[in-house]
């Protein structure tokens, strides 16, 4: 498939990562802040233009019992908006524990708290890649 962009959608920030299907690996790119409670569509468009992904992967927040959380519907809405705006296939990936694992991996090495969101996006994308 080629290049993919992964997103960890949150109520205030969106972590972004890029990955390759050939290697099955991903790299944390950056964390975007919502603008007026909406995704920074300009920056997302720039990232899509720069990386030219064949598909997008959005983390789907679920509870330990597979039920929806308060964050599930906003993440689903974001994934539909991505597909509608950019006409690129969007896949969903289970993101349970991605934020906890990101914090665990970074520990106190994170330069800013924002590093966690981009690393969480990396983990979400790698999870999806490993399941393919």
pLDDT tens sequence across 26-47: 999 999 999 999 999 999 999 9
Dist. CA 113–CA 120, nearest whole Å: 12
For 5-20, give the secondary structure using H, E and C: EEEEECCCEEEEEEEE
**Structurally, how many domains does the chain consist of?**
1
- Higher pLDDT: 103 or 17? It is 17
Mean pLDDT, the chain, rounded, equals 87
- Cα angle 45, 50, 53 (rounded to 5 degrees) comes to 80
76: pLDDT strictly greater than 80: yes
What's the gap between Cα 29 and its chain centre? 10
Residue 61's domain comprises 3-131
Q: pLDDT for 86-116, tens place per residue?
A: 999 999 998 865 555 555 555 555 555 547 7
- pLDDT for the residue 71: 85
84: pLDDT strictly greater than 60: yes
- pLDDT for the residue 99: 57
Query: How does residue 15 score in pLDDT terms, banded at 50, 70 and 90?
Result: very high
Please tell me whether residue 3 adopts helix, strand or coil conformation. Answer: strand
Residue 12: CATH number of its domain: 3.30.420.140
- pLDDT for the residue 103: 55
Here the tokens at position 118 are: 């981009």
Q: Centre a 10 Å sphere on the Cβ of residue 59 and count the other Cβ atoms it contains.
A: 30
- pLDDT for the residue 38: 94
Dist. CA 112–CA 67, nearest whole Å: 31
Contact between 3 and 16 (Cβ < 8 Å): no
114-126 burial code (b ≥16 CB/10 A, e <16) = ebbbbbbbbbbbb
- pLDDT for the residue 43: 97
* Residue with token string 């950056």: 30
């Amino acid at each position: 498939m080629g290049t993919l962009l992964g997103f960890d959608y949150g109520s205030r920030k969106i972590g972004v990562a890029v990955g390759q299907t050939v290697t099955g690996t991903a790299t944390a790119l950056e964390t975007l802040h919502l603008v007026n409670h909406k995704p920074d569509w300009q920056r997302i468009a720039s990232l899509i233009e720069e990386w030219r992904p064949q598909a997008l992967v959005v983390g789907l927040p679920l509870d330990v019992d597979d039920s929806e959380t308060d964050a599930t519907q906003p993440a689903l809405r974001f994934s539909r908006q991505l597909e509608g705006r950019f006409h690129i296939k969007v896949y969903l990936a289970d993101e349970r524990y991605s934020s906890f694992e990101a914090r665990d991996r970074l520990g106190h090495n994170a330069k800013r708290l924002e590093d966690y969101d981009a690393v969480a996006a990396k983990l979400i994308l790698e999870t999806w890649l490993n399941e393919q």
